Amino acid sequence: MMIECIYSTSDYSDMVFLVSMSFNKVLDAQYNSTVGKFVWFTEQAEKSAEIWNNNQAFMQGLKADVDTYCRHYARIVDSAVRDKTVKPKVKLSSVKQAEGNHPAVLMCSAYEFYPERIKVSWLRDGKLMTSEVTSTMEMADGDWYYQIHSQLEYTPKSGEKISCVVEHASSPQPIVKDWNPSISESDRNKITIGSSGLVLGIIIAAAGLIYYKKKSSGQWR
């Protein structure tokens, strides 16, 4: 026997209570709170389902379990989860540059988030893209955090706007990352390294100038 509470809204208005009876991995009968009775799927379970459905006290108890069991424990569990949410780190990168008629490939990755449930989607000029999208399942890192990767294969057009949208319980608003094709990933790295080298060079030069002035001032005395 397996008991499930299924819902997707924060106010639990769509809560569904399921009781499934199986034998040898075959579903024999199931109670669904939206139906209000047991439905049988095998000949062997027909008599049992009829007996359960005719037991008014038993059926009233199952009906009440939507509130006393499902909604009650959903509030407790959701409260504990929402207090411990961790916002994902989102990275948008180019996997393959456009070459002639070959499409470009973008990768949107979300790392180190909790809880597991997350949604990653793509927008092209504000419109949802459903084709040419490949996504992994949420993968456990082994440290209570999760990661997910979504790949978009498309043909670039001048002036268009490609965005990766990540929706997660840790963020009240969707996390949106816009792709900027004007600077490639390698160029970004070169700029970062070059800037770091320039700053380091200025610091060393300034330190040398200060040392030289102090030394010169001491000689004149």
Say whether both 77 and 147 belong to one domain.
no
Instruction: Tell me which of 56, 82, 108 is where a domain ends.
Output: 82
> Angle CA(139)–CA(170)–CA(133) in degrees, nearest 5?
50
Instruction: Tell me which of 53, 82, 111 is where a domain ends.
Output: 82
Give 194's pLDDT tier (boundaries 50, 70, 90): low
How large is the angle between the packed helices 56-65 and 43-54, nearest 10 degrees?
Answer: 90
- The count of structural domains within the chain is 2
Per-residue model confidence as pLDDT tens digits over 159-187: 889 999 999 988 889 999 999 876 555 55
Judge if pTM exceeds 0.75.
no
Task: Tell me the percentage of the chain whose pLDDT exceeds 90.
Answer: 48
Task: Flag whether 155 is in a domain.
Answer: yes
Say whether both 49 and 107 belong to one domain.
no
The CATH number that applies at residue 112 is 2.60.40.10
Say whether both 95 and 174 belong to one domain.
yes
Say whether both 76 and 93 belong to one domain.
no
Residue 94 pLDDT more than 50? yes
Say whether both 75 and 94 belong to one domain.
no
**HEC profile for 81-112?**
HHCCCECCEEEEEEEECCECCECEEEEEEEEE
Task: State the pLDDT at residue 80.
Answer: 74
DSSP state of 23: E
The CATH number that applies at residue 48 is 3.10.320.10
Say whether both 68 and 18 belong to one domain.
yes
Task: Flag whether 221 is in a domain.
Answer: no
Task: Flag whether 209 is in a domain.
Answer: no
Say whether both 98 and 166 belong to one domain.
yes
Say whether both 93 and 172 belong to one domain.
yes
Residue 11 pLDDT more than 50? yes
Task: Flag whether 183 is in a domain.
Answer: no
Say whether both 74 and 93 belong to one domain.
no
Type of residue at 214:
K
Task: Flag whether 193 is in a domain.
Answer: no
Task: Flag whether 201 is in a domain.
Answer: no
Task: Flag whether 107 is in a domain.
Answer: yes
Q: How far is it, in rounded angstroms, from Cα 167 to Cα 118?
A: 6
Say whether both 96 and 162 belong to one domain.
yes
State which residues form the domain around 68.
2-82
Per-residue model confidence as pLDDT tens digits over 20-36: 999 998 999 999 999 99
